[in-house]
Chains A and B, each alone.
Chain A
Amino acid sequence: MSKGNSTQTARKFDFFDVLYKYGTLITIVILIAFFGIMSDGFLQGSNIINILRSISIVTIIAIGITISLSVDGFDLSVGSVASLANAVVISMFVWYGQNIVLGIIVAIAVSLIVGMLNSFAIVKLRIPDMLMTLAMMFIVQGIALTYTKGATVSENMVMPDGSFATGTISPLFAKLGQVPWIIIIMVVVVAIVHIFLNYTKHGRYMYVIGGNPEAAKLSGIAVNKYRVAAYLLSALFAAIGGIILASRVMTAEVNAGAPYLMDAVAAAFIGLSVLGSGKPNAIGTFVGAILIGVLQNGLVMMSVPYYAMDIVKGTVLALALALTYYKNKG
């Protein structure tokens, strides 16, 4: 017999509730204030731009993870997909001398193939999402490495036959990774996905599927179609992340996308608790990425060594998760 708690109207001040809803935002404000006081350069406009630029790739990749989370899935392969897209787009320019449009299209197409494989294995073969995308992470990482033969792809690189690569990367492509475009792209991605998840029927269906796939199916929602779409979208955003990364560094280094995975996962999970939504959401993910970016930037300015950074990031993620799950338990 379920006890109907519907009469629970008492609005007493609940510390945990406030912490849950505003904890992330409060933390960001405190951090900004703290770093602002501790180091002179932190609050300067150029540094703020710097932070936004530094989080843009993480945010875009994290948005992909957010979409996979919205159907109660999970995509661990996004970091590798970003590496692959990075390698493909740069090689298209440097090795094959293709133009921007074609390079980007090929990179995205390759990534979508990965997304399709993921969704086929998860939806049709019923492999648990976390395990399948973990396997896919290795596979794609290996493919990217094999494709580049373990080398860094860059303009004028030495080819295996001893000659030099002749292709060039157009300066227009380089613009994508520079301020303001990189920040604009990030904001546009966040805005589009926010609208998609909250104000379209497709987004609603995804949340419904994430909440109760069985009930969603029995409500006549095409569950599998949307799950496939979610993995395709997460691969798409990983690809965009990888392409932007390529334009920022203008090379394709070995496993360049891998380090973004954990930051992106952290951002998406921190985002769960933002404003008490309790659901994966684009704005929350953006806020999560800002939190990580502010932390990282501030710590660098305070001369904390880079190798200690992960300790702080991991701790922040654990605290954010504690907030989300402690609340869920109650």
Chain B
Amino acid sequence: MSDMKRSRIEMKKISIEFPGVKALKEVDFVTESGVSHALIGANGAGKSTLMKVLSGAYNHYTGEIFIDGKPVNIRSPKDAKDLGIQIVYQEVDTALIPYLTVGENIMLDETVNDMGGKQFVNWKEIHRKSKEVLARLHVPVSTKKLASELSLAEKQMVLIARAISKECKYLILDEPTAPLSHAETEELFRIVRDLKQANVGVIFISHRLPELFEICDDITIMRDGEFVIKEKIGNLAQNQVVEYMLGKKMDQQFPEHNITLGEKCFEVKDFGDGTSVHDVNMYVRKGEVVGIGGLVGAGKTELCKALFGLSKVRTGVLTLNGKRLTYKTPHAAVKAGIALVPEERRKEGILVSESVTVNLTAVSLGKFTSLRTFLNSKKEREISRQMIASLGVKTPNEQVKVKNLSGGNQQKIAIGKWLVGDAEVYIFDEPTKGVDVGAKRDIFELISGLAAKGKCVIYASCEMSELLGITDRMYVLYDGQVVKELETSKTNEEEILFYSTGGK
């Protein structure tokens, strides 16, 4: 890293195929060390795949890779690492060993690969070296701490530390900011800038455009497994980037939504879950979409879950149409007419190994039974076909397993099951997370349609543009408390951010 000579990496005509999918079609990608390079595209555009090729995760691609004009052969992660190419994947937990210390995790590659004939581990050396690396990043985490005790952001820092503990010319960050709070993101950006100073080339995959404009020098845009354009990021405007990603002009993303609001329907008084949420007061009128704003960690997810009967403790009073709600479990909450579309879709929202039909009817199976016991599968399939059509789910038929659908379509299923179920109050927790732009629009339309039918909708998101686009009113959470109620038509991103970050 000491020689400041610019190094240059070139990927030429990279193609790769998976059973039934051509994931990359002759993609070209060029970047240099000392530069931060944004790689962007809608879901399924192939950006992660391209970076996996570069980091040696696949060996069955075609095309060539050059470093400083010399052809190199990257067919395994070791090949890539030997060339100084390191990657930090989005799912940090898959790369860390929870019951080892930070030091051991940082030096993992070394202890695995560079022990040679040595049989004993030199703990002093491990902690000394890892401390050095962390110091280089200015990350104040003890090397003796267990990885399982770290916050998400710290875990990411540890992985970055692992990446630069060895020779690192290129660092690939795959959606690093998705789970991070505002302050943590800033910290990450500082590290990226430092690395750039040290002549490391950072390749930055993200869905969040403003971020890329803040931190990146160059940008490469991909679409449907193909290269679209490479530019200096300063030469493009945000909406141009979106146009390139979509391959068409973006029409209005949020549906028109002009509804006469009914009376107060769902009311929350002095509500808390005993730990991360307290003293929440809010109400939702019939036909209203109410936003829950706030940064990551403000307690949005905890609030949504507690409202759905999922927390250990619940204090305060909930009423629906004037009737007090006393449910203690999700099972009872559903009976009372509450629906939750949870944040962690694959883990909590859908049944990946079941068919679309089973997923769509899971919450309202009683409707499809005779004698409240025996299933009428014909009726189930019929409803599910109707649902697929009305939600615009892209699936060959209703018997396909949900794991074979794309993220956006999975989310439509996660929402659709509650539409079959017919609830009164719909709670959405980050419903557009990991969903591409096209499907996002469909989801907004669904939500707006629910409100039009006179349902109460609660929409929790840390994306301020979404809150502004879809809601009528919003509550801003900070540190588990509602700090501000805002009228959507009279506010803007700055104001939301002001209150989200604790402004008063």
Residues of A within 8 A of B (CB): 1-10, 195, 199-202, 204-205, 207-208, 211-212, 214-223, 278
Contacts and interface: CB of A to CB of B under 8 A. Distances in A.
A10 B22 CA distance: 14
Interface stretch (B134-142, B190-198, B325-333): B325-333
A9 B396 CA distance: 9
Contacts of B377: 199
Contacts of B375: 199-201, 204
B358 interface: yes
Contacts of B44: 1, 3-4
B362 A208 contact: yes
Contact of A221 (B43, B331, B348, B369): B331
A6 B330 contact: no
Contact of A201 (B19, B308, B310, B373): B373
Interface string B421-461: 00000000000000000000000000000000000000000
Contact of A6 (B23, B48, B49, B406): B406
Contacts of A215: 347-351
Interface of B: 18-21, 23, 43-44, 47-49, 308, 310, 329-331, 333-335, 340, 342, 347-354, 358, 362-363, 365-366, 368-369, 372-375, 377, 394-396, 400, 404-407, 409, 417
A218 B348 contact: yes
B374 A199 contact: yes
A201 B377 CA distance: 11
Contacts of B395: 6
A2 B406 contact: yes
B331 A220 contact: yes
A6 B347 contact: no
A220 B354 CA distance: 17
Given A204-B358, A208-B358, A7 B308 contact: no
Contact of B20 (A7, A204, A211, A219): A7
Contact of B404 (A6, A205, A207): A6
A219 B409 CA distance: 18
B394 A219 contact: no
Nearest to B376: A199
A303 to B, nearest CB: 45
Task: State the main secondary structure of chain B at its contact with A.
Answer: mixed
Contact of A214 (B308, B348, B358): B348
B330 A218 contact: yes
B20 A8 contact: yes
User: Which 5 pairs of residues, A with B, have the shortest CB-CB distance?
Assistant: A220-B334, A8-B20, A4-B406, A1-B48, A201-B365
A84 to B, nearest CB: 31
Contacts of B407: 2
Contacts of A1: 43-44, 47-49
B366 A201 contact: yes
A215 B374 CA distance: 23
Contact of A218 (B21, B340, B409): B340
Given A207-B354, A215-B350, A222-B331, A5 B373 contact: no
Nearest to A225: B331
A15 to B, nearest CB: 15
Nearest to B43: A1
Nearest to A279: B353
A217 B21 contact: no
Contacts of A6: 394-396, 400, 404-406
Contact of B330 (A2, A211, A220): A220
B330 A200 contact: no
Nearest to B423: A220
21 contacts: A3-B49, A4-B409, A6-B400, A6-B404, A8-B20, A8-B21, A195-B374, A199-B374, A199-B377, A201-B365, A201-B369, A201-B373, A204-B365, A204-B375, A205-B365, A211-B352, A212-B352, A218-B330, A218-B340, A219-B363, A220-B330
Contacts of A205: 365
A200 B21 contact: no
A11 to B, nearest CB: 11
Contacts of B19: 5, 8, 10
A291 B153 CA distance: 53
B334 A4 contact: no
A200 to B, nearest CB: 5
A208 B396 CA distance: 22
Contacts of A10: 19-20
Given A208-B351, A212-B350, A221-B362, 7 more contacts: A5-B18, A6-B406, A200-B373, A201-B373, A214-B348, A215-B347, A217-B330
Given A220-B335, A220-B363, A222-B331, A4 B21 contact: yes
Best-buried of A8, A199, A205, A212 by chain B (most CB within 10 Å): A212
Contacts of A200: 369, 373-375
A117 to B, nearest CB: 23
Most central of A10, A215, A221 by chain B CB within 10 Å: A215
A207 B358 CA distance: 10
B20 A5 contact: yes
Contacts of B417: 219
B358 A3 contact: no
A5 B21 contact: yes
A329 to B, nearest CB: 14
A223 B406 CA distance: 28
A10 B17 CA distance: 14
A179 B459 CA distance: 64
B322 to A, nearest CB: 23
A4 B369 contact: no
Contacts of A3: 18, 21, 23, 44, 49
A211 B351 contact: yes
Contacts of A214: 347-348
Which of B331, B396, B404 gathers most chain A CB within 10 Å?
A: B331
